[in-house]
Structure 1
Amino acid sequence: MIRSLYTGASGIISGQRQIDTISNNIANVNTAGFKESRTNFQDLFYANLQQNKNLENPNRLSNLGIMIGHGVRPGSTTKNFTQGPLIGTDGPLDLAIQGNGYFGMNKDGQMHLTRHGNFQIDTNGVLTNSDGYPVMGNFVGNLSDFSNLSFSPEGILTGTNAQGEIQELGSITIFDVPNSGGLLAQGANLFVATENSGQPNIVGTNLKQGFLEGSNVNLADQFSQMIINQRALEASAKIIHTADEMMSHANNIRR
């Protein structure tokens, strides 16, 4: 019965981790470029309490003996990188990537990746995100000297100069990695590449100006998972309560 107490406790702890993940997903349902997370679970090691040898039936296919597991633990969290809905903003510097790929951000000399394309021009005429990190690309001149900035689907930036002439101002660079699931989330909608993700490579793009990619969190799915997890937590608590009552009855018998 002591084993059942630990097993029930493992269910409660794992359920708490699941709730933590779900609550973060729901909290970011309106965060542009956010990718929902999922908690993956693993069963714990098994105790071989009894090993039976059935010599009379050597062709038996089932396992022999008694093996009892010790509960569950969170094994990992994974990100769902499916594309979120494109939300129209009419912002001239709002960009959404249709399909695979990431914007590259230069944060303190290190490349960070993001799907959040809410950009602006800073006082130095540099294209940056809302936190002031420069967007990686090949741009010429001071962008604040131009009006009517426009991005083509291929990422080519054009603008109107002081003489009213349309001028090409360079292009934004789009990156992708071999395995998005291996990216490490840094907060602020940023990811960094790891050994598991592979190194970023420059790829072609299909940009949509005046749009942002919304969160890919499905609220109905998250609420369903929350209800299922709540029932599992209640069941785990019931296991502990039942095991405690059984131990109490056993102690009373001894008296």
Structure 2
Amino acid sequence: MNNSMISAMVSMNAMQQRLDVIADNIANVDTVGYKSKDTSFEDVLTQVQGHHKDFALAGRSTPSGYTMGFGTRLASIVENLAQGSHKETGNPLDLAIEGNAMFAVQGNGGIAYTREGGFHVSPDPQNAAYVNLVNNQGYQVLDRNNNPIRIPANAKVAVDGAGQVLAETAAGRNVVGVLKLAELQRPEGLVKMDGNLYMLAAGLTEAQVFEATQTDPTQLKSEVQSGFLEQSNVSMSDEMTKMMEVQRAYQLAARALSSSDTMMNLANTMRG
């Protein structure tokens, strides 16, 4: 198989992977708190091939060689953690963050982080006098001490800009917990999980990925907005433009593969 066929096939495979990422972004354009993904590519086994010695003439101004490669491959998929727009819902337990912080919940494998703030209350199976604050997957929302936030049953709940969860009962209004707002410092230290959740990469600690502001409320640069939900940061126009670019690139690679196959058939016919 000649180099042109290998290059075309490798590039077509890379374009298909990029198309899958774009399709995933478009499918989640209305998913609350979803962060779009982008791809980066790198050359495969690129090398400089020297020309025949007859090309090395006196006075030549360009290099006596040419670049020979084997297409491109997917190098990495990068999460775009830019903040999405906020949509008003009127529900006091729908929370959006103005800033780069993330909520913390108790996931199956440990503490998970998310920008999706569509919370609600769920009965506490161990104590009927309380309810737990949970996310849409049923995971308990954590406070600054990594403890689940529990609210007296039948209390009227509100959340202020600092993340304080206020419960109003017949006895008065009290702070029952303060949301953990982990302000992101190193996005590359997070690993994307199912359900719009992120977890720390293996071997990393919170102090290595998040800023220390969660232990000092006065230093927080983020603010909680109650009654709002953060929308997906996917731009449909951008994704459609990328899709057309990928389709054109795929067509060109397919045409190169077809042309290479035609040339090989002609060469085989000319033998003998």
Give the TM-score normalised by structure 2. Answer: 0.85
Query: Using the alignment, how far apart are the partners of 2:233 and 2:139 within structure 1?
Result: 24
Alignment partner of 2:123: what SS? coil
Q: Report the residue type matching 2:133 in the other structure.
A: L
Q: Does 1:132 align with 2:149?
A: no
Query: Using the alignment, how far apart are the partners of 1:76 and 1:9 within structure 2?
Result: 19
Where in structure 2 are there 5+ consecutive unaligned residues? Answer: 125-130, 215-219
Whether contact under 8 Å (1:146, 1:160) holds in the other structure is no
Where in structure 1 are there 5+ consecutive unaligned residues? Answer: none
Query: Using the alignment, how far apart are the partners of 2:66 and 2:95 within structure 1?
Result: 59
Aligned-pair distance for 1:91?
1.2
Whether contact under 8 Å (2:140, 2:149) holds in the other structure is no
- Relative distance call for 1:14 and 1:211 in structure 2 (3 A) is same
Q: Give CA-to-partner distance per residue, 1:101-122, whole Å, 9 cap, x none.
A: 1001111361111000011111
Whether contact under 8 Å (1:81, 1:181) holds in the other structure is no
Aligned-pair distance for 1:170?
2.4
Instruction: State the superposition RMSD in angstroms.
Output: 2.4
- Relative distance call for 1:243 and 1:112 in structure 2 (3 A) is same
Q: Of residues 180, 184, 202 in structure 1, which corresponds to 2:187?
A: 180
Whether contact under 8 Å (1:42, 1:75) holds in the other structure is yes
Q: Report the residue type matching 1:136 in the other structure.
A: L
Give the TM-score normalised by structure 1. Answer: 0.90
Aligned-pair distance for 1:123?
0.5
Aligned residue in 2 for 1:200: 210
- Relative distance call for 1:141 and 1:113 in structure 2 (3 A) is closer
- Relative distance call for 1:115 and 1:70 in structure 2 (3 A) is same
Q: Does 1:37 align with 2:34?
A: no
Whether contact under 8 Å (1:145, 1:162) holds in the other structure is no
Q: Does 1:220 align with 2:237?
A: yes
- Relative distance call for 1:101 and 1:244 in structure 2 (3 A) is same
Whether contact under 8 Å (2:189, 2:209) holds in the other structure is no
Q: Of residues 157, 165, 170 in structure 2, which corresponds to 1:162?
A: 170
Give the total of aligned pairs.
252
Aligned-pair distance for 1:143?
1.0
Q: Spell out structure 1 runs of 4+ moving beyond 6 A.
A: none
Judge which range, 209-218 or 168-177, deviates more: 168-177
Q: Does 1:210 align with 2:227?
A: yes
Aligned-pair distance for 1:52?
6.6
Aligned residue in 2 for 1:49: 49
Identity of paired residues, percent? 29
Query: Using the alignment, how far apart are the partners of 1:61 and 1:179 within structure 2?
Result: 46
